[in-house]
Chains A and B, each alone.
Chain A
């Protein structure tokens, strides 16, 4: 315990939540990976178990180092991150490896690991937003002084993500708007922007639905169509996901006993929440959901207690972004939202997504760690 106290700082509840999610992740991924293993590794599920565990371990290392960094540095880092992210996004858009027809991925040369540049951009943008909002607090209600300089990078980043990954772009945009609302930007501006956005989106959808273009636009087209029609035959993933949830019942089929994993594509990633409910029932699903709400609640507390506005906004911005993504993923699994490609943070299999999630949690922990220190400073001083 002393060792833990010595090295592990920051909010203990968040540490606990992260650890619980990671353990849960290993369990569910190991179970739902069977088909993948059967197809590609001659049934060697241990291969994936091992790989996933290593990734989680590295993630926790990242989390540890991030929480050791004084959060005030992240203000500067966010600028660098954003300057790095924008050209990378452009580069990915033009040349990236294509999975499911979307140019979302870049291959990191040495470790040969694909990573989604939008993950980097997302983290960098939210941090940058926290920085801008806290810096402009004095003239926060002003259009030119606050709204415009804050809005422009958001639009640039989201605009660059949009062609390759609509859902991530939309989600990030909403996250930014919420953060701006918390950061006291004039609500009138936000509402007008959303209205304009909705109109634009309507036009966009209209174009998509009437265009002959295949590729990505085609995928969106069918996805939107499927959700609107509710056509069970076509909307295979959604139906299989619902079957998983229906057969899970209250207490579930038990660990490793899922059968829908064999029919549900991406049961280890986009639809992992369905597998969770199938194996652990509504109880397990609700518990998972509660873990995220606890995470957000701790983020709220940290934000409330943080002496500086930047810390507050950083903590709430990152925890909200994370939990919001989790909510979207679960909403897709229960068919509340149309099928998007959002993984469940910390739980879904996937290398870099987990690492960026861990980084984000590490930064939140850094805020909470420094809050403790700053309070001590304030008391003493």
Chain B
């Protein structure tokens, strides 16, 4: 027995020894891996396993001055499907593929369920792990997709893969589109998006991600390495309501005159804040769109609007005064080989008039006379004086692409004997509409020239990060006396000069018309010969001014380029737009209104006139006003009213299903309610009470048909 035990014992020890050797070999191999192969292996790790992935910061919004959203980022998604996810078994896939295909077809309505089914089955068969379902999916659609069969199982169990991207949206579409702008990869950024790109875009974050088996990236820790800092919000100076009016007015006028392009800019006098800036360009099919920021980018010969700076120079240098009499002759005058005409040449010209009158009636010859007489000895003095008033400098606005002003020196090759005479009324030089406006704004502002600004403040959440201060370009472009003198003349332009059509009783407008001839195909100003040839002439009509004239709050410029009809005078083409914008601003700004005298309340002494409409509404109002009502409409919702001596009579107006209702005499609200309830599309003209309707009441309704109503 002990023999056996001893025999077994040594065998056990041999085995134990062998196992220990095995163990030693394992440790040795592990050490070998660490010490010998280690370096190479460690290198491989870093390449393959860890990666800093950037987390996109959310781009900030652009708001209007009154808080409407002008540009924002919305998420869109790309959805992919891993039909070969580990957790999707053959049975599961076959069971769900039909309903999944049906759901997709139902949601997107672009292809049949069978076609989707085929696609899904093929994707699985091909062994695809990243099959594209669809791009540009909206959040609401994504939410629905998350409930689809298979997809609702999520990423790993259902193979539902979503990739988020951000898309820039402008809720007001084309409104101020070029000024709001955009920023895209590999394209020069445009507008505020470009100018404030740094503030808007924020700082991308970083997160250390690790690749895990199956090609999945997983965050290494809970915390991001660098938290993304979301972009700041920008409050632009633009007022959407005024912008809307400006754009519509411009559109209407461009369409009427079939002009090539036009621009309107409204600026706040004291701060330089741009409240509206509209640019429209004609397309080949005759419609208009915001294609280029003409106000900022296009330098052209301004024409008569330049007479103001020219006159100010002459006044300041003491060569003339407003009361001086200048002989404008018979409406035409020869300067070397060129003849200059005044607009009333056919009526015999202006004759001898005062300097003030020259500006009011916009006499070319008058201005040419003043400037040539004043500066013929020293033309450079004129140029230097213009430069002193910042007219030769760019404004330096933050939006890219500002046009350069071009005013040549007397020493330049292109300078000629007629240069002074032509520059006096805005030729042989170029400026952008915004530069002209800034000058007029300075005049309105008592000589203080401020830089136009497009942004009021930059905020982060509710906190204001930066208030954009108004920058003064020139504290005093000329003396107070001169300002007062030219202001009077600019008021004269509207009261009894070239723009009497802008006169109105509510508030005074001061400004200057401009009608410039543009040589098509010639290079402006730089080459005298091509300028003289002028084979084909096009016009640029403009009006620039400010209002209310006695206490200027806003300045505005309108430039219409190449109106193709015969009407091309600044007051007629550009003036109405100016008027419409000014009216809107005036209506919105209580501080501009004169206080009305209080009026006695007449409600009890006379029975008011009432529109037709909803019976309950009408009765409520009459009851409130203690007016007697004679009602013949017991069960009707809609009534006609007739005003009697001491009461109002209500008569029923029947509204029947599928018949066009009669809305004559109703207010807009009731009319639209009735018509649209019947499935009609309503187009409205005018304001007030419905005067006529394009489809008369009682006719059978064709759903979706358009009905026009005229209000007055």
A residues in contact (CB < 8 Å) with B: 35, 38-40, 137, 178, 181-184, 239, 242-243, 245-250, 259-260, 262-265, 277, 282, 285-286, 289-290, 292-293, 296-297, 300, 303-304, 309, 312-313, 316, 320, 323-324, 327, 330-331, 334-336
Contact = CB atoms under 8 A, between A and B. Distances in A.
B211 A263 contact: yes
Main secondary structure of the interface of B (DSSP, over half): helix
A190 to B, nearest CB: 12
Nearest to A240: B213
A271 B218 CA distance: 21
A355 B469 CA distance: 78
A182 B12 contact: yes
Q: Which 3 A-B pairs have the closest CB atoms?
A: A262-B212, A246-B41, A334-B29
Contact of A178 (B15, B26, B49): B15
Interface of B: 4-5, 7-9, 11-13, 15-16, 19-20, 22-23, 25-27, 29-31, 33-34, 37-38, 41-42, 44-45, 48-50, 86-87, 156-157, 210-214, 216, 218, 220
27 contacts: A40-B156, A40-B157, A182-B11, A182-B15, A183-B8, A242-B33, A243-B45, A245-B33, A245-B34, A246-B37, A246-B42, A259-B220, A262-B49, A265-B213, A282-B27, A289-B26, A290-B23, A293-B23, A309-B4, A313-B8, A316-B12, A331-B22, A331-B26, A334-B30, A334-B33, A335-B33, A336-B26
B29 A327 contact: no
A250 B25 CA distance: 17
A289 B22 CA distance: 10
A327 B27 contact: no
A285 B27 CA distance: 8
Contacts of A312: 5, 8
Contact of A277 (B30, B214, B218, B220): B30
B20 A285 contact: no
Nearest to B9: A304
Contacts of B9: 303-304
Nearest to A277: B30
A334 B44 CA distance: 18
B212 to A, nearest CB: 4
B694 to A, nearest CB: 62
Given A246-B38, A263-B212, A336-B25, 13 more contacts: A39-B216, A40-B156, A182-B8, A182-B12, A183-B8, A243-B41, A259-B50, A285-B27, A289-B27, A300-B16, A304-B12, A324-B19, A334-B29
A335 B8 CA distance: 33
Contacts of B23: 289-290, 292-293, 327
B19 A323 contact: yes
A296 B26 CA distance: 16
A137 B7 CA distance: 12
B12 A336 contact: no
Contacts of B25: 331, 336
A275 to B, nearest CB: 13
Contacts of A137: 4
B34 A293 contact: no
Contacts of B212: 35, 38, 262-263
Contacts of B156: 39-40
Contacts of A285: 27, 30
Given A39-B216, A324-B19, A334 B26 contact: yes
A293 B20 contact: yes
A330 B26 contact: yes
Given A289-B23, A324-B19, A300 B8 contact: no
Contacts of B26: 289, 327, 330-331, 334, 336
Nearest to A243: B41
Contacts of A247: 41-42, 45
A292 B157 CA distance: 39
Contacts of A304: 5, 9, 12
A327 B31 contact: no
Contacts of A40: 87, 156-157
A286 B31 CA distance: 10
Given A309-B8, A327-B22, A246 B27 contact: no
A183 B213 CA distance: 46
Nearest to B45: A243
Contacts of B19: 293, 296, 320, 323-324, 327
B213 A262 contact: yes
Contacts of A184: 4, 7-8, 11
A300 B27 contact: no
Nearest to B85: A39
B361 to A, nearest CB: 82
Given A184-B7, A262-B49, A300 B13 contact: yes
B213 A35 contact: yes
Contacts of A316: 12, 15
Given A184-B11, A265-B213, A334-B29, A242 B49 contact: no
B8 A282 contact: no
A107 to B, nearest CB: 16
A285 B33 CA distance: 13
Contacts of B50: 259
A122 to B, nearest CB: 18
Contact of A181 (B15, B27, B214, B220): B15
A290 B23 CA distance: 8
A331 B16 CA distance: 17
A335 B210 contact: no
A32 to B, nearest CB: 12
B41 A336 contact: no
Contacts of A293: 19-20, 23
Contact of B15 (A246, A286, A320): A320
A300 to B, nearest CB: 5
